[in-house]
Amino acid sequence: MSTTLPDPDKTRRQVGLGMLVVSSLFGLVLLLIFVLLPPLASDNPMHAYGSMLLGATLALPAGLVYLLIPRTFDRYDPEPWYALVGCLMWGGICAAAFSIPINTCVMSLGSEALGAVVSAPFVEEFWKGIGIVGVFYFLHREFDGIVDGIIYATFIALAFAITENVIYYARGAEQGMGMLAVTVFFRGIMSPWLHPLFTAMTGMGFGIARETKLGWVKFLAPIGGYCVAVLLHMTWNGSATLSASTDGGAKWLFFILYPGWILLVIGFFISLFFLVKRRGRILREYLLDEVALGTITQSELDLVCAPFGRLRAHRRHGLAGANFVSAIARLSLSKWHVSRAYATNTRTLSWDFIVPLRQEIAHLRRTLRD
């Protein structure tokens, strides 16, 4: 008989889903107004829409391929599909749509440089960050720490970049194939990971807030992460804008700084690799006593803590095998949360999951043997 796990966040999760749906509908209306309808007023609407279709054809496949990379990193306790779909909806529809009218207004009242260097970093990182806030609050049980914050942020940012690239590629195509090629080269090849890099700083801030025992860090870490995201975004846009708008020595500023950005992106992936390795060590540490108790075997512990152990279990036993590994991983993370709550004498809902998860593991093992 299957064990029913506690679901104390059901109401909160349903409220979050409702807010996401409403926000997405509003975002679609804004995209219709600011992106899809304006070509009708152009001299050649068919050419404009053809350019938009070409932009989507170039941006979407590349974006979907890029999504495989954070998904591959997220191997020990993969984020649930519904959380990732929500991130994609927020980044590609809501964050992009809510940013466009604000940036457009700033550019109309000020200048394109003001919009790119000041408005875009603050506004875009704010709206992308709100998506992370949503996961952190409405799916709190699925937000375990720094790795999760980075993964959610990366999915939001890549979806945002896909929408933005469709728009920029369409503009480039309207000016000719040469300009389209330049735009695709600079945005799709030279800098596809910059939006994820920026927004990952906010995700790391919320991940630190989830893990820390210190109240002031819980409050300041997300704010600090957002500020770093804005600073990086502002520096990138500022160097690109300055290089494009001057004939002096500053014209080469973008290209001088570009190797530094490459190193930052490489450093980001290296950091993520070691953070994932740390997650594996946490899983093992909090499962060792479960081996002694007989909840799991040593071979099952090794499978859960192995790279792509969930994938191996899925190949051998199908969905039941993947669920078995996920339940063991969730037990370990629940105990990790409990240990941190115990250290600060606070209450955590993870207490209520330990016994049901042990029962669920036993049930799934019997299912695999049948």
> Could you read off the pLDDT of 135-184 as tens digits, one per residue?
999 999 899 999 999 999 999 999 999 999 999 999 999 998 999 999 99
Judge if 334 and 239 occupy the same domain: no
- Separation between Cα atoms, residue 296 and residue 313, nearest integer Å: 15
Classify residue 273: in a domain, yes or no.
Answer: no
Judge if 114 and 14 occupy the same domain: yes
Q: Does residue 54 register a pLDDT over 80?
A: yes
Choosing from 248, 263, 278, the residue where a domain stops is 263
Judge if 184 and 120 occupy the same domain: yes
Judge if 218 and 359 occupy the same domain: no
3-state secondary structure of 91: helix
Classify residue 278: in a domain, yes or no.
Answer: no
Q: How confident is the model at residue 249 (pLDDT cuts 50, 70, 90)?
A: low
Classify residue 277: in a domain, yes or no.
Answer: no
Per-residue pLDDT reduced to its tens digit, 107-122: 999 888 899 999 999 9
pLDDT value of position 128 = 98
- Cα distances (angstroms) measured from residue 246 to each of 6, 51, 101, 178, 183: 61, 29, 27, 22, 19
Per-residue pLDDT reduced to its tens digit, 317-354: 899 999 999 999 999 999 999 998 888 778 788 888 89
| Contacts of 42 by beta carbon, 8 Å cutoff, 6+ apart | 48
Angle between helices 81-89 and 146-174 (to 10 degrees): 40
Classify residue 274: in a domain, yes or no.
Answer: no
Which has more pLDDT, 332 or 253?
332
Tally of domains in the chain: 2
* Identity of residue 245: S
Containing structural domain, residue 342:
286-369
Phi, psi of 326 (to 5 degrees): -65, -40
Q: How confident is the model at residue 247 (pLDDT cuts 50, 70, 90)?
A: low
Judge if 259 and 290 occupy the same domain: no
Judge if 293 and 332 occupy the same domain: yes
pLDDT value of position 251 = 66
Judge if 124 and 201 occupy the same domain: yes
Classify residue 245: in a domain, yes or no.
Answer: yes
Classify residue 4: in a domain, yes or no.
Answer: no
Judge if 112 and 206 occupy the same domain: yes
Give the least confident one: 75-89, 116-130, 266-280, 339-353: 339-353
To which H or E segment does residue 314 belong? helix 309-317
pLDDT value of position 255 = 78
| Contacts of 233 by beta carbon, 8 Å cutoff, 6+ apart | 120, 121, 124, 125, 198
- Separation between Cα atoms, residue 194 and residue 366, nearest integer Å: 46
Judge if 65 and 175 occupy the same domain: yes
Judge if 47 and 162 occupy the same domain: yes
- Separation between Cα atoms, residue 251 and residue 240, nearest integer Å: 9
* Identity of residue 162: I
Per-residue pLDDT reduced to its tens digit, 282-331: 999 999 999 999 999 999 999 999 888 888 998 888 999 999 999 999 99
pLDDT value of position 229 = 98
| Environment class of 208 (CB within 10 Å of its CB; exposed 0-12, middle 13-18, buried 19+) | buried
3-state secondary structure 136-189: HHHCHHHCCCHHHHHHHHHHHHHHHHHHHHHHHHHHHHHCCHHHHHHHHHHHHH
Question: For the chain, what percent of residues have pLDDT higher than 90?
Answer: 74
Tokens 């490489």 correspond to 266
pLDDT value of position 76 = 86
Judge if 217 and 89 occupy the same domain: yes
Instruction: Work out the average pLDDT over 74-91.
Output: 93
| Contacts of 28 by beta carbon, 8 Å cutoff, 6+ apart | 93, 97
- Separation between Cα atoms, residue 98 and residue 231, nearest integer Å: 20
Classify residue 279: in a domain, yes or no.
Answer: no
Q: Does residue 250 register a pLDDT over 90?
A: no
- Cα distances (angstroms) measured from residue 163 to each of 62, 67, 166, 274, 276: 12, 14, 5, 31, 29
Classify residue 234: in a domain, yes or no.
Answer: yes
Judge if 222 and 321 occupy the same domain: no
